[in-house]
Amino acid sequence: MLTDLSYISYPLPEDIERLVLGGDLARARRVIASRLRSEKTPECLKKRLEFEEKILDEIPRSYPLSEDEMLQRLQALYRDFTREEMEALRDDGTLDWVYLDGQVRYKDSAADSALKTRPDLHPRLKDPAALESGDANARLLGETIAKMKQDGHAHLRFRLRARLTINEHAQRPGKRIRVHLPLPLKDGQCTPGEIVTSPAAHIAPEDHPQRTACFETVYEPGMAFTAEYTYDIDAPYVEPDPDKVSPEQPRFDTEEALPQIQFTPYIRALCRELKGEETNPLRIARRFYDYCTTNCCYRFVPPYFTKTNIPEYFGAGQRGDCGMHALLFITLCRCAGIPAQWQAGLYTRPGEAGCHDWARFYIAPYGWLYCDGSFGGSAWRAGNRERWNFYFGNLEPFRMVANRDLQQDFDPPKTFLRSDPYDSQLGEVEYEDRGLTLHDFTTEYTVLSCEKID
């Protein structure tokens, strides 16, 4: 099964690990190839080595910027920005980097991470308009949260269009192609409506944990795969009270799910440290949320398959994106015996849509409550305690839910390993002989309408 990814948890041989961390990828490939040919290498380890080859393909793509190129980007953003300041941002974790062939290489979105998370640099922006989108979003969230508190919920109907095209270098006219596009599913706050696709597609059941439209056809030049759909989001507002928590709590969704949700020694130690002597599950979950939002910080990251243990990566390094916030929270909750699940899809405010991940956790008698660590962390950095508190227990209605679990097979399943083996937000593509990566196709989302429902 493609969803059995437990082998990703297996260790790399130490010599290969040293080569990868040191940035000698060519030699790492040679050693991996030698081990794959060897009859002495266990088959289970060969799976791990083959997966590492995919990671090695991605690293240079995700970290293309030299030190001089990174400095130029930062100097284009900020007045009088120095190399020493860049080095300080690298040391404190704001700028993501790796070693490649003896040189420091920076993540292609590292400057965006600084813009998003370093308000102390905002007074030096050459173009203050760079903040307009974030400011407008903060105002929208503030107004929406205030209205939800007044009305007890928010109920919206969205119409979206998803459009996937194959990038020129990956186009193969006359070859059979299979495309999966994410669709809204029925779960919690989300109710899907009508769906129209072009060309015709197989539509997975509305309760599928990672719902998609599946197109199977012969690729023609200029072909686009589109899905236009409606869905309703009815987002409740709750103020969970620890004193009203039931003495008996359920035990579902408290298990590990390798490779990402695993109770490693570090996760167990962090769970114990944050939990302390507390026994109330709501207060415990709040301690996990507080750690993720106040001790950890947002940073754009390479594709998730390059990180073999995301909760540890984020919990120890304290830097990562929305899904890493969610996965650490979920893993800590499950380690503490609190049911927790993944939800993901899109953040869809009027006029704009983008990929987003979050979590939910179960506390009786309230049932499923929501947690958005990245939005909560953004509120914390902005000094907005009301919004920070809101995202422990609640979500606004600007969500398209396409996933309610990790690493689930599609309907119908893919033949080749997915470009994102855990989540489904931008879609997946494969020909009969190979799968495509996220660099081989482009997915665009358009919010066509957003209307309030009484």
Please indicate, yes or no, if residue 148 is contained in any of the structural domains.
no
Please check whether residues 90 and 37 belong to one and the same domain. Answer: no
Is pLDDT of 323 > 60? yes
Asked which of 90, 109, 126 is the last residue of a domain, the reply is 126
Instruction: Write out the residue range of the structural domain in which residue 385 sits.
Output: 154-454
Question: Mean pLDDT score of the chain, rounded to an integer?
Answer: 97
Peptide bond into 365 cis (omega under 30): yes
Please indicate, yes or no, if residue 399 is contained in any of the structural domains.
yes
- DSSP helix, strand, coil percent of the chain (3-state; round to 5): 40, 25, 35
For position 252, what pLDDT does the model report? 97
Q: Are 425 and 402 in contact (CB under 8 A)?
A: yes
Please check whether residues 71 and 21 belong to one and the same domain. Answer: no
Please indicate, yes or no, if residue 102 is contained in any of the structural domains.
yes
Q: Are 176 and 216 in contact (CB under 8 A)?
A: yes
Separation between Cα atoms, residue 331 and residue 264, nearest integer Å: 10
Please indicate, yes or no, if residue 398 is contained in any of the structural domains.
yes
Please check whether residues 213 and 196 belong to one and the same domain. Answer: yes
Asked which of 15, 47, 62 is the last residue of a domain, the reply is 62
Separation between Cα atoms, residue 330 and residue 345, nearest integer Å: 17
Six token digits for residue 131: 């903040």
Please check whether residues 104 and 190 belong to one and the same domain. Answer: no
Separation between Cα atoms, residue 327 and residue 297, nearest integer Å: 14
Please indicate, yes or no, if residue 40 is contained in any of the structural domains.
yes
Please indicate, yes or no, if residue 144 is contained in any of the structural domains.
no
Please indicate, yes or no, if residue 37 is contained in any of the structural domains.
yes
Please check whether residues 14 and 53 belong to one and the same domain. Answer: yes
Query: Which of 176, 255, 263 has its CA nearest to residue 218?
Result: 176
Peptide bond into 259 cis (omega under 30): yes
Please check whether residues 309 and 448 belong to one and the same domain. Answer: yes
Which residue bears the tokens 């040189």? Answer: 103
Q: To the nearest 10°, report the CA torsion of 241, 348, 321, 79.
A: -120
- pTM reported for the whole predicted model: 0.97
Six token digits for residue 438: 């996220």
Residue ranges of the alpha helices (H) in 63-120? 67-77, 83-91, 110-117
Please check whether residues 232 and 281 belong to one and the same domain. Answer: yes
For 75-97, write each residue's pLDDT tens digit. Answer: 999 999 999 999 999 999 999 99
Which residue bears the tokens 């205030």? Answer: 146
Asked which of 62, 79, 100 is the last residue of a domain, the reply is 62
For 327-378, write each residue's pLDDT tens digit. Answer: 999 999 999 999 999 999 999 998 899 999 999 999 999 999 999 999 999 9
Please check whether residues 55 and 120 belong to one and the same domain. Answer: no
Please check whether residues 49 and 79 belong to one and the same domain. Answer: no
Q: How many domains is the chain partitioned into structurally?
A: 3
Is pLDDT of 1 > 60? no
Please check whether residues 96 and 175 belong to one and the same domain. Answer: no
Please indicate, yes or no, if residue 406 is contained in any of the structural domains.
yes
Please check whether residues 51 and 174 belong to one and the same domain. Answer: no
For position 418, what pLDDT does the model report? 94
Please check whether residues 418 and 354 belong to one and the same domain. Answer: yes
For 215-229, write each residue's pLDDT tens digit. Answer: 999 999 999 999 999
